[in-house]
Amino acid sequence: MKILFINKFLFMNGGSETYMFSIGRKLEELGHEVQYFGMEHTGRCGGNRLGCYTDEVDFHSSGVARFLYPFKILYSREAKRKLLRVLEDFNPDTVHINNFNFQLTPSIIYAIKKYDRQTGRRTAIIYTAHDGQLVCPNHLMQQYISGERCQKCLNGNLWNCTKYKCIHGSTVKSLLGTAEGILYRIFKPYKKIDKVIAPSFFLGEVLSHNDQLKGRIITLHNFVGDITLTEEEKIKENYVLYFGRYSREKGIETLVKACREVPEIPFIFAGSGELQEMVDRTANIQNRGYLSGRELYRLIAGARFTVFASECYENCPFAVMESLTCGTPVLCADIGGAPELLEAGTQGELFEPGNADELKSKIELLWNDRNRIKYYTDNCTEINFDTLEQYCTKLLGIYKECGREREQA
């Protein structure tokens, strides 16, 4: 099978890129042909035979480029033209779209349909939703200035984005985000997508507010990479672990506040971000910096428990999945799709996001109750997330099903 992955970033920018490139490599191992389309970048780590990509777009730039912003965010003629060239050269069976709004725009969907008309083919179109972009113009469902979680646009009134300056705190950018959302609710390009993969039931419910997606959404929780540890590496040590980005929306301010109120408990943080100075100034936090792979997994496995403190609507956080797979219970913020990944009172505990007092109390409870932590740790072995290969097998089934449905249409 030939699969073309589309994503605006073709370098390791975040979780969606980790997801896409991991799947792409595994599908190639399984004998399938894979190519990629998106923006050109010096760090690009995936491509297509033609070497055809759109120019890099930076919406934070100044000068003449910023005056082209309104046109590029709504419809990219360049993306449509260049994608059509790649489609004509590669002739994929399936196009698997990931993040595309703003830089690539829904013009890519029109390119696929034009290609189908020209060739008489019926290319299956799959979209993995990594956030709420198709129902929320700023995609996070969080007001930029206040940081308040928000679902006001889900009722169809996208003007809330402009009202609250949800995109970078800018009236102009928020107005453009509103215009983009309204434009594509009128022209309905998303109805041309065969299946929408939501990595959590939470996000699937959120996306169902867009009428174009109803009946097309399936939930498929993310996969966990290969985590193989020795028994010695799984021995518990005396620390609580946080790993992830040091930023406001990840709950770092709340977590650091709770840490400072329990100075007798040692914490290890593994990550980086704009709030690193706050982390470094806290006496009972040892900052290990950004870690990945086996080094990170050993640190997770050795913790008594981990804390997932996010205060934004999480989708299907790898941090929770990786912790449980390493045999370590999670003290988890009750938000978004995160609570779907564990059973509270069996593999960990939940707490109200942003509530430093409750977080502090739960940290003390778990730290001091060895029997409870042992019970949770033992129950982590009952968690079985899909491996990458199992996930890809399910994904191939979706590709083939969509292909058959298009042939019969």
pLDDT of 68 reads 52
Nearby residues of 162 by Cβ (< 8 Å), 6 or more positions away: 171, 174, 175, 177, 178
Provide the CA 275 distance to its chain's centre, in angstroms: 21
Task: Provide φ and ψ at 49, rounded to 5°.
Answer: -60, -35
Residue 195 and residue 69 share a domain: yes
What is the maximum alpha-carbon separation in the chain? 69
Taking the C-alpha atoms of residue 251 and residue 149, their distance in angstroms, rounded to an integer, is 13
pLDDT band at 92 (very low <50, low <70, confident <90, very high): very high
Instruction: Report the range of poorest mean pLDDT among 72-81, 197-206, 273-282.
Output: 72-81
Residue 238 and residue 101 share a domain: no
Residue 236 and residue 198 share a domain: no
| CA 144 to each of CA 159, 169, 335, 375: distance values in angstroms, whole numbers, following the listed order | 15, 6, 18, 40
C-alpha closest to that of 326 among 222, 236, 199: 236
| In a domain? residue 35 | yes
| In a domain? residue 311 | yes
Report, as an integer, the average pLDDT of 282-294: 94
Residue 347 and residue 332 share a domain: yes
Residue 261 and residue 201 share a domain: no
pLDDT tens, position by position, 323-347: 999 999 999 999 999 999 999 999 9
Residue 399 and residue 344 share a domain: no
Nearby residues of 408 by Cβ (< 8 Å), 6 or more positions away: none
Report, as an integer, the average pLDDT of 180-196: 93
Taking the C-alpha atoms of residue 178 and residue 153, their distance in angstroms, rounded to an integer, is 10
Q: Are the C-beta atoms of residues 41 and 56 closer than 8 Å to each other?
A: yes
pLDDT of 67 reads 46
**Strand-by-strand arrangement of the 195-198 sheet:** 33-37, 2-6, 94-97, 124-128, 195-198, 217-219
Q: Are the C-beta atoms of residues 308 and 320 closer than 8 Å to each other?
A: yes
| In a domain? residue 17 | yes
Residue 337 and residue 198 share a domain: no
pLDDT of 228 reads 85
Taking the C-alpha atoms of residue 135 and residue 205, their distance in angstroms, rounded to an integer, is 11
Angle (CA) 184-57-273 rounded to 5° is 100
Residue 325 and residue 257 share a domain: yes
Instruction: Report the range of poorest mean pLDDT among 17-26, 215-224, 274-283, 377-386.
Output: 377-386
pLDDT of 96 reads 98
pLDDT tens, position by position, 152-179: 999 889 999 999 999 989 998 899 889 9
Residue 335 and residue 320 share a domain: yes
Lookup result for tokens 């799959």: 126
pLDDT at 230 over 90: no
Nearby residues of 271 by Cβ (< 8 Å), 6 or more positions away: 242, 243, 244, 245, 246, 289, 290
Taking the C-alpha atoms of residue 276 and residue 273, their distance in angstroms, rounded to an integer, is 6
pLDDT band at 64 (very low <50, low <70, confident <90, very high): very low
Taking the C-alpha atoms of residue 108 and residue 115, their distance in angstroms, rounded to an integer, is 11
Counting the structural domains of the chain, the total is 2
Instruction: Report the range of poorest mean pLDDT among 291-295, 344-348, 404-408.
Output: 404-408
User: Tokens representing 60?
Assistant: 């934070």
CB neighbour burial string for 219-248, b if at least 16 within 10 angstroms, e if fewer: bbbbbbeebebeeeebebeebbbbbbbbbb
Query: Angle of helix 370-379 relative to helix 356-368, nearest 10 degrees?
Result: 90
CB neighbour burial string for 165-196, b if at least 16 within 10 angstroms, e if fewer: bbbeeeeebbbbbbbbbeebbeeebbeebbbb
| In a domain? residue 351 | yes
Domain span at 219: 2-137+175-223+387-408
Residue 190 and residue 79 share a domain: yes
| In a domain? residue 372 | yes
pLDDT of 403 reads 84
CA within 13 Å, CB half, 358:
12
Taking the C-alpha atoms of residue 402 and residue 2, their distance in angstroms, rounded to an integer, is 14
Sign of the Cα torsion 154, 156, 162, 167 reads positive
Taking the C-alpha atoms of residue 318 and residue 320, their distance in angstroms, rounded to an integer, is 6
Residue 391 and residue 378 share a domain: no
Q: Which CATH number characterizes residue 36's domain? A: 3.40.50.2000
Residue 254 and residue 212 share a domain: no
User: Tokens representing 316?
Assistant: 């299907």
| In a domain? residue 266 | yes
Helix ranges restricted to H, 33-158: 69-74, 77-90, 107-119
Q: Are the C-beta atoms of residues 186 and 164 closer than 8 Å to each other?
A: no
Name the pTM for this structure. Answer: 0.90
pLDDT tens, position by position, 18-59: 899 999 999 999 999 999 999 999 999 999 999 999 998 765
Report, as an integer, the average pLDDT of 51-73: 66
Task: Provide φ and ψ at 206, rounded to 5°.
Answer: -60, -45
Instruction: Report the range of poorest mean pLDDT among 46-60, 86-100, 131-145.
Output: 46-60
pLDDT band at 409 (very low <50, low <70, confident <90, very high): low
Taking the C-alpha atoms of residue 18 and residue 15, their distance in angstroms, rounded to an integer, is 5
